[in-house]
Amino acid sequence: MANVEAWRNMREVCIVGIGMHKFGRWPDKSAGDLVREAVVAAFDDAGCEFKDIQVGFSGCVQRVTGTGQAVFGEVGQTGILIDNVEKACASSSTAIRVATWVVGAGLYDVALCTGVEKMQRGLLGAPASEESASYSQLMGLGIMPGEYALRARRHMSEYGSRREMFAQVAVKSHKNGALNPYAQYQTPLTLEEVLNARMIADPLTLYQCSPTSDGATAAVICAREVANRFRGKPITIAGWGSGTPAYSPVGVGGDVAEGFIYKVGCEAYELAGVGPEDIDLCQVHDAFSAGEVFAVEELGFCPSGEGARFIWEGKADIGGEKPVNTDGGLESRGHPMGATGIAQAIEIVRQLRGEAGPRQVPGDPKVGLQHNVGVGGCNVLIYKR
Amino acid sequence: MTEATKEKKRRPIRPGRFVVPDDPKAEPHLVGSRCGNCGKYFVPPRVICLNCGKAQMEEVPIKGKGTIYSFTTVHQQLPHALVKVPYAIAIVALEEGPSIHGVITEDLDAVEVGKSVEVYFEKVKEDDEGNDLLVDKFRVAGK
């Protein structure tokens, strides 16, 4: 748990510009091509130029070495500090958090965060050959949908949640994604289509697994006190939480560990000075549909065990009591791993500015929450208008 | 060459998770560690205790008996895996305390949360010298 007083003594930090390259499959574009479009859009949104940027953080997973330097080089080379940030699927939310720290501490006034990924089709973590495979890989044990499925089956056994309730997450995601021009998949799916899709790891079918994707995102972050230099409507990063799963002798463990999101969420609520009841919308890590169920429970939007029913009853829909993954989430918007964290932040900024068009959350939302999980860690960030 | 050296040996396909005794009649066993200070068990073995933080760990055999905390049936084949779909992954809460992820390939219909399971060892192939290469799997106990 971070020192709350030290955080409150830091300068207020905000996102003042956002940009994104549509997620999808872009075999003819380089990572630099994708980032360039996202950064140009973010600069246009903020009303800034590269010379305004004092420090940079680049989130990327599969191609880390030198990526930040290469992709920033597409848009400017002014000699600033650029760090590569890697936390698997939570890489670019980590970039935002680290930028928030250094700007909040007063080391710099303006930072640029980027996220990018170009991915292959198929299961992540597959070995190149039998000889190079670990024991876990030889035995088919170390697969990500399996981990989420294991916790989903436990949830079904413990709380009586049903497979169609997990499938409903994907139905909702695709309904929202159909309203998002930046989403990889913009076609609604019926419950039957989700349930009848190819089984991956019971109870999760293909459409309950996020796709592999190409895409890029960018965010300009600055001290609130200098935000008037720019025309972008500032959205404050009000609090954050982060950590790694604690050891537990029995349970799913790892990044899907029971109680892990709760712990990180508590830290974010404490630092932001808000509670679950104050959150007007959220973007959570639905790499697999069941992940959204665990997140809405552990973030305190409904009691333990009732997350699947909460989504099934439409309470997480746009217009519901707690809209979740209004941009389609990882499943429909797409999940280019290094770009996902900033994509979640972008959707919250759009919603809090009232610029989300047909998927705008009604009632003038003021507080948004982001939950982003990567191998070995989880970030929760809370944003306020 | 003596008869003994000509005998095929049994080996884990990868080292670390279980031990195969040299005596061909002795059963292989999973390995863990037990803390000499607080008594907690860990699988896989640890050098530092995750419960009390002391470095008084002793490597110990693990019986491989426990109950299913959760399971999933996998239908997507992981490339180059020796286990073929459909198979189940189970989180087994072991009698010694910790849990372990194990593979179940037989009698999948009997797999349920709370069921008792036990480990067994199966030859999957031979190495270049003709030794048997083993893996561990779990099955519903008492069948």
Q: What is the pLDDT of residue B1?
A: 46
Cβ–Cβ contact A2 with B under 8 A: no
If one counts every other C-beta atom within 10 angstroms of the C-beta of residue A116, the result is 33
Tokens of A218: 């960018």
Catalytic residue among A89, A113, A222, A282: A89
d(CA B103, CA A314): 36
Contact A133 B80 (CB under 8 A): yes
Q: Catalytic site residue A209?
A: no
For residue B142, how far is the Cα from the chain centroid?
18
Q: Say if residues A269 and A279 touch (Cβ distance below 8 Å).
A: no
A150 CB neighbours in chain B (<8 A) are 70-72, 89, 91
A143 CB neighbours in chain B (<8 A) are 74, 76, 78
B85 CB neighbours in chain A (<8 A) are 140
**What DSSP designation does A169 have?**
H
Model pLDDT for residues A238-288, shown as the tens digit of each residue: 999 999 999 999 989 888 999 999 999 999 999 999 999 999 999 999 999
A197 CB neighbours in chain B (<8 A) are none
Q: Say if residues A339 and A115 touch (Cβ distance below 8 Å).
A: yes
Contact A201 B93 (CB under 8 A): no
Catalytic residue among A113, A335, A371, A378: A335
A:263-302 residues touching chain B, CB 8 A cutoff? none
Q: What is the pLDDT of residue B5?
A: 57
C-alpha distance from A385 to closest chain B C-alpha (Å): 42
Cβ–Cβ contact A162 with B under 8 A: no
CA closest to B96 among chain A residues: A249
Q: What is the pLDDT of residue A307?
A: 98
DSSP string, B50-86: TTT--S-EEEEEE--EEEEEEEEEE-SPPTT-SS-SS
The sheet carrying A13-24 orders its strands as A81-85, A55-59, A110-117, A214-223, A13-24, A235-243, A377-384, A367-374, A281-283
Contact B135 A138 (CB under 8 A): yes
Q: What is the pLDDT of residue A142?
A: 81
d(CA A348, CA A216): 17
Mean per-residue pLDDT, A327-346? 98
- ipTM associated with this complex: 0.94
Considering only CA atoms, which of A210, A341, A340 is closest in space to residue A288? Answer: A210
d(CA A376, CA A1): 17
> Do β-strands B10-12 and B132-140 pair in parallel, antiparallel, or remain unpaired?
parallel
pTM of the entire structure?
0.96
Considering only CA atoms, which of A15, A44, A48 is closest in space to residue A345? Answer: A15
Q: Catalytic site residue A282?
A: no
Q: What is the pLDDT of residue A376?
A: 76
How many interchain CB pairs under 8 A, A with B?
112
d(CA B61, CA A14): 55
Mean pLDDT across chain A, nearest whole number? 96
Q: What is the pLDDT of residue B8?
A: 84
d(CA B42, CA B52): 12
d(CA A274, CA A364): 17
Contact A140 B83 (CB under 8 A): yes
List strand residue ranges (DSSP E) for A99-225, in order: 110-117, 199-201, 204-205, 214-223
Q: What is the pLDDT of residue B57?
A: 97
User: Has residue A138 got a pLDDT over 80?
Assistant: yes
Whose tokens are 């429970």? That residue is A297
- Can you give the length of chain B in residues? 143
Average pLDDT for runs of 10 along chain B of length 143: 66 96 93 97 96 97 98 96 97 98 97 98 94 97 78
Handedness of CA B45, B50, B56, B60 (dihedral sign): negative
Parse chain A into domains and list their residue ranges.
4-121+211-384
Q: Say if residues A310 and A88 touch (Cβ distance below 8 Å).
A: no
If one counts every other C-beta atom within 10 angstroms of the C-beta of residue B90, the result is 27
User: Has residue A125 got a pLDDT over 80?
Assistant: no
Q: Best mutation site among A151, A153, A209, A210 for testing chain B: the one with the most B CBs within 10 Å?
A: A153
C-alpha distance from B142 to closest chain A C-alpha (Å): 23
Considering only CA atoms, which of B62, B124, B114, B57 is closest in space to residue A154? Answer: B114
Mean per-residue pLDDT, A10-14? 98
Out of B81, B97, B113, name the one closest to residue A137 (CB): B81
pLDDT band at A63 (very low <50, low <70, confident <90, very high): confident
Out of A136, A201, A247, name the one closest to residue B74 (CB): A201
Contact A139 B82 (CB under 8 A): yes
Model pLDDT for residues A206-223, shown as the tens digit of each residue: 999 999 999 999 999 999
Considering only CA atoms, which of A95, A94, A151, A143 is closest in space to residue A122? Answer: A143
Q: What is the pLDDT of residue A126?
A: 85
Classify A4-121+211-384 by CATH class: alpha beta
Parse chain B into domains and list their residue ranges.
3-140
